[in-house]
Amino acid sequence: MDLSEGRISGEIAEAVATRGARFVDKYRVLHSTHADDYFLKDPLGGVASDLVDAIDGLSFKQCMQLPESSSRDFPVALQDFLSEVRASSLPVKQPAARRPSRLRKNFTPKKQHEVDQLSALISSLASTSCTEWVVNIGEGKGHLSEVIAEMASVDGVIGIDCGIHRDDGRTAALEMYSVKCRVTQDMVAEDYVSVINQSVKKDLVRPCLEGSALVGLHACGDLGSCVVRTFASSSASFLALAPCCHHALTTVGFPLSAHLQALGTPLDSTASRQVACIASARWSAEGDDQLPKYRMHYYRSVAASLLPERLSLPPSFLRKLSKQTDLSLATFVRTVCTFLGKSDADTRQMLLEAEKHDTEASFKRFLTFMTLRRSTAPSLETMYLLDRYLYLLEKGCRCFLLPLFDPVLSPRSYVLVATHEHPQGS
């Protein structure tokens, strides 16, 4: 498999990260404001008025195409903003080919696509790297492990997870093991060797993970950073990591690289980390189908501004509301009041206050905020990806960021691949 398209020089990676740090700081008021806090914080007050006016002048369909689309007909302020996004983001790319599914069970198209693409990459890397064992960290139910065992030219697959979801056994004549272990940030290569060999009661993997590969699909939050640290301290043959759940990152997992640490780019806001997870390509693809979802966000924001306490509504309650056709703001507020046990007098007062926001002009202004907020997502995610990439470069590894997944089907579309220039044990 050709990895060349995923190779980024250290100088370019640092330059993009530096531009990203400036962008993140410049538009912090957008990405650090949760949608529910829109009326409480007035984030558009901190954004240049000509940029706000430019978004206000777009149709809903045009808003949904941002930040991927661009046009010379856009106002200069919007063109400049989109240029800043592109200069501080990894490009959104389609993978070279969609592989036929190897999963024989009834999985979602997203899961099938991810396992097919990543297992093919791992098989290709294993065949050219003298890999004996594939260590799948955060194995889950073992779907990736099973497909790797069928494809890869290795002795077997070892899955590590905080819970055991499948039994040890054999697939395609290869050994498969599941090891129960809660991975922590202070674990180094020898800790994995010890945990694995003690669990299976034999010397399965070699010291410093020599001859083993570290892989992970949906390595959430700090787990992804932990795997990166472990690889850097090991003699593992290669790393193939598909991260997710940036919102679960803490200051323990970000920043790792000296470059990002020196830039002093804190993304410690929960709202900012959540924005980094937004599936911009998917929103663009769905277009007008997203309008009811934006109205729900708007209704929630209005209700949150009218309550003295923090608005906290269970997802099941919101899903039930979202299924109502032609849901109005008044109906939403009344239903929330009933759910929260508000008195009739409080409900009437909230309905009167909500009526002030029940205009298309007010909703359009909210849509402008949400469009700008969503448009910062590629830059935020790029900061997380480049941080790990630069950390591995700083440790002397060869690194690649491959656009392996379809960004509409699987929004966390980049996979981090690394090998050792000079293995730790040599």
Higher-pLDDT residue of 287, 171: 287
Strand-pair category, 156-161 with 133-137 = parallel
| CA–CA separation, 252 and 229 (whole Å) | 11
- pLDDT above 80 for 218: yes
**Which of 278, 260, 316 has its CA nearest to residue 64?**
278
DSSP state of 246: G
User: Given strand 169-171, what is the order of strands in its sheet?
Assistant: 169-171, 174-180, 156-161, 133-137, 212-220, 239-244, 414-420, 397-403
- pLDDT above 80 for 283: no
Q: Assign 68 a pLDDT band (cuts: 50, 70, 90).
A: confident
* Count of beta carbons in the 10 Å neighbourhood of residue 406: 20
* Cβ–Cβ under 8 Å, residues 193 and 207: yes
Question: Which residues contact residue 209 at a Cβ distance below 8 angstroms, ignoring those fewer than 6 apart?
Answer: 135, 189, 192, 193, 230, 234, 235, 236
- pLDDT above 50 for 171: no
pLDDT of residue 99: 61
pLDDT of residue 70: 77
- pLDDT above 80 for 323: yes
pLDDT of residue 170: 44
For 69-116, how does the pLDDT look when each residue is reduced to its tens digit (9 = 90+)?
878 889 999 999 999 999 999 987 766 555 666 655 667 889 999 999
DSSP state of 410: -
Q: Assign 231 a pLDDT band (cuts: 50, 70, 90).
A: very high
Which tokens hold the place of 33?
């404001």
User: SS3 string of 15-36?
Assistant: HHHHHHHHHHHHCHHHHCCCHH
* Cβ–Cβ under 8 Å, residues 288 and 61: yes
pLDDT of residue 100: 62
205 by Cβ neighbours in 10 Å (0-12 / 13-18 / 19+) ranks as buried
Higher-pLDDT residue of 322, 123: 123
Q: Read off the amino acid at residue 188.
A: V
pLDDT of residue 95: 66
Mean pLDDT in residue range 3-29:
90
Alpha carbon 114 to its chain's center: 14
Q: Assign 146 a pLDDT band (cuts: 50, 70, 90).
A: confident
* Cβ–Cβ under 8 Å, residues 311 and 333: no
Strand-pair category, 239-244 with 414-420 = antiparallel
Question: Which residues contact residue 22 at a Cβ distance below 8 angstroms, ignoring those fewer than 6 apart?
Answer: 88
Higher-pLDDT residue of 303, 200: 303
Question: Which residues contact residue 25 at a Cβ distance below 8 angstroms, ignoring those fewer than 6 apart?
Answer: 265
Question: Which residues contact residue 396 at a Cβ distance below 8 angstroms, ignoring those fewer than 6 apart?
Answer: 420, 421, 422
Which tokens hold the place of 317?
């309650």
| CA–CA separation, 185 and 252 (whole Å) | 8
Is the pTM higher than 0.85? yes
* Count of beta carbons in the 10 Å neighbourhood of residue 356: 9
Mean pLDDT of the chain: 89
For 363-405, how does the pLDDT look when each residue is reduced to its tens digit (9 = 90+)?
999 999 999 999 999 999 999 999 999 999 999 999 999 999 9
* Angle ∠(188,192,195) on CA atoms, nearest 5: 135
Q: Read off the amino acid at residue 22.
A: R
Which tokens hold the place of 95?
């993978």
pLDDT of residue 285: 78
- pLDDT above 60 for 1: no
**Which of 66, 11, 5, 81 has its CA nearest to residue 386?**
11
pLDDT of residue 311: 78
Q: Assign 178 a pLDDT band (cuts: 50, 70, 90).
A: confident
pLDDT of residue 365: 97
Mean pLDDT in residue range 163-170:
53
pLDDT of residue 165: 55
* Cβ–Cβ under 8 Å, residues 193 and 205: yes
310 by Cβ neighbours in 10 Å (0-12 / 13-18 / 19+) ranks as exposed
For 288-300, how does the pLDDT look when each residue is reduced to its tens digit (9 = 90+)?
788 998 999 999 9
| CA–CA separation, 361 and 278 (whole Å) | 25
**Which of 331, 316, 421, 366 has its CA nearest to residue 35?**
366
DSSP state of 73: T
- pLDDT above 80 for 421: no
Q: Assign 3 a pLDDT band (cuts: 50, 70, 90).
A: low
Beta strands per DSSP E along 91-188:
133-137, 156-161, 169-171, 174-180
Q: Assign 310 a pLDDT band (cuts: 50, 70, 90).
A: confident
Residue whose tokens read 């063109």: 79
SS3 content of the chain, % helix, strand, coil (to 5): 50, 10, 35
Q: Read off the amino acid at residue 226.
A: C
Helix (H) or strand (E) holding 214: strand 212-220
